[in-house]
Structure 1
Amino acid sequence: MSNEQGIARFSNPAPLGLAGFALTTWLLSMINAGWFTGDAMNMVLAVAMAYGGTAQMIAGVMELPRGNTFGATAFVSYGAFWWSFALFVLFLHDKVPAAFVGWYLFMWGVFTFYMWIGTLRGVRAVQLIFLALWITFFLLAAGEWTGMGRLHVAGGYVGLITALLAFYVSAAEIINEAHKREVLPVGTPRAA
């Protein structure tokens, strides 16, 4: 696609990446919140590999020619998270101590925390996604470390909020672009 000056214009991959992240996060968070048992995990794994993992990776690679370091880093990283999660559950779940799983989740929380700091001059809705996500990771890590089921459930509920926020921003990106105006507000970025 090109614009009026004949310069290549790349499509916005964010709605794809956000939707892949949101759907997969929603499904896993329903289990973490206790709405479903681990028997539902196979569907999460399928979606984690196909949509949460692969679609986000594609979105991240699509961010590169747009010069969006943040988007590329976020989508490729969380795509890799979903692939690593699926591989862990499928092949290693019974072979890794809970404390180490806690460190895995905690370090994803650390990554998400500094990514959140990177959003603070951007769109407010994206800030909220990353805020809710680092809280989710830290709650789930604390649940693994302490064995307190309530922390795990709390992480599940904050994960559901994270997924809803990501779905909202994905929808806003699609709908606002289609209507060529802001139909769904996402909050304006802070002035430099």
Structure 2
Amino acid sequence: MSQGHAANPGPAGLVALAMACFTFYAVHTGKVEGSCIPLLGIWLLGGFIVQVIVGVMELNHGNVLGGNVFTFFSAFFMFATGAELIFKYLAGAYGWPAIDARIDGWAWLPLAIALLCWTPGYFKSPLSLLGVVLALDIAVPVVALMDMGVIGHEWHVVSGNFLLIAGIFGLYTSTGVVLNTVYERTIIPMGGPLIKPKTVATIAK
């Protein structure tokens, strides 16, 4: 159904994010075996395709916050992580020399810091989208610290559960954006922003 103007690509990016969150939840909480890792890598590479398109479109639409977040999510959370999972699986399967994977933690750390620093920008977004970001604000630093070896892997249950929460909020928000746009009214309430957009005053002449 055509809306007659450029459409919001965000829902597709949020569905891709939810896929990553749900699958990492399954891995981190032991719902699936470690043998799934190469398949997860392939799913993340698929998510990269979606999110890089979304990021570029959001930037073209003038969305500096969402566009940049989707762009670096596509590169690092999706493509780099997916490729690494496949590489690590092959390294283990073929007995390649040991790899110091703590570098992953150092790579995740600036991503976590950027996400935390940019979070206030989402105070002007619907509450359901803010819920996605706040859940990731906990999960991503935990993953970074685990990979660095600062905290133990028993923290997987924390990262896993908050990733699941982020994925659920992501699916809810994507559904709200799509259905509310198609029906041109509120079908799925997403909650108002904590900070209201500025209103431009008009002076009668």
TM interval, shorter chain, is 0.7 to 0.9
Alignment of 1:91-102 (within 5 A): 91=87, 96-102=99-105
Cα deviation, 1:78-133, whole Å, max 9, x if unaligned, reads 11121010122222576542432222222221121122121122221111111111
Q: Which residue of 1 aligns with 2:128?
A: 125
2:175 is equivalent to residue 171 of structure 1: yes
Amino acid at match of 1:107: P
Contact 1:142 1:151 in 2 (8 A): no
* Equivalence for 2:29: 33
1:64 alignment partner, SS class: helix
Alpha-carbon distance in structure 1 between the residues aligned to 2:108 and 2:156: 12
Rg bigger for which structure? Answer: 2
**What runs of 5+ residues in structure 1 fail to find an aligned partner?**
4-8
Question: Scaled by the length of structure 2, what TM-score is found?
Answer: 0.82
Map 1:146-165 onto structure 2 (within 5 A): 146=150, 148-165=152-169
Q: Could you say which residue in structure 2 is the equivalent of 1:53?
A: 48
Q: Using the alignment, how far apart are the partners of 1:85 and 1:172 within structure 2?
A: 29
Contact in 1 for aligned 2:37/2:86 (Cα 8 Å): no
Q: Give the match for residue 6 of structure 1.
A: none
Q: Which runs of 5+ in 2 are unaligned?
A: 92-97, 199-205
Deviation at 1:151, TM superposition (A): 0.8
Structure 1 residue corresponding to 2:71, chosen from 63, 69, 76: 76
> Cα gap change, 1:10/1:19 in structure 2, threshold over 3 Å: closer, same or farther?
same
Relative to the length of structure 1, the TM-score reads: 0.88
Identify the residue that residue 66 of structure 1 maps to in structure 2. Answer: 61
Q: Which residue is 1:14 aligned to?
A: 10
State the 1:12 CA deviation.
0.7
Does structure 2 conserve the Cα–Cα contact (< 8 Å) formed by 1:169 and 1:186? yes
Q: Structure 1 residue 164: deviation in Å?
A: 0.8
The sequence identity of aligned pairs, in percent, is 24
CA RMSD, 1 decimal: 1.9
- Cα contact 1:123–1:187 (8 A) shared by 2: yes
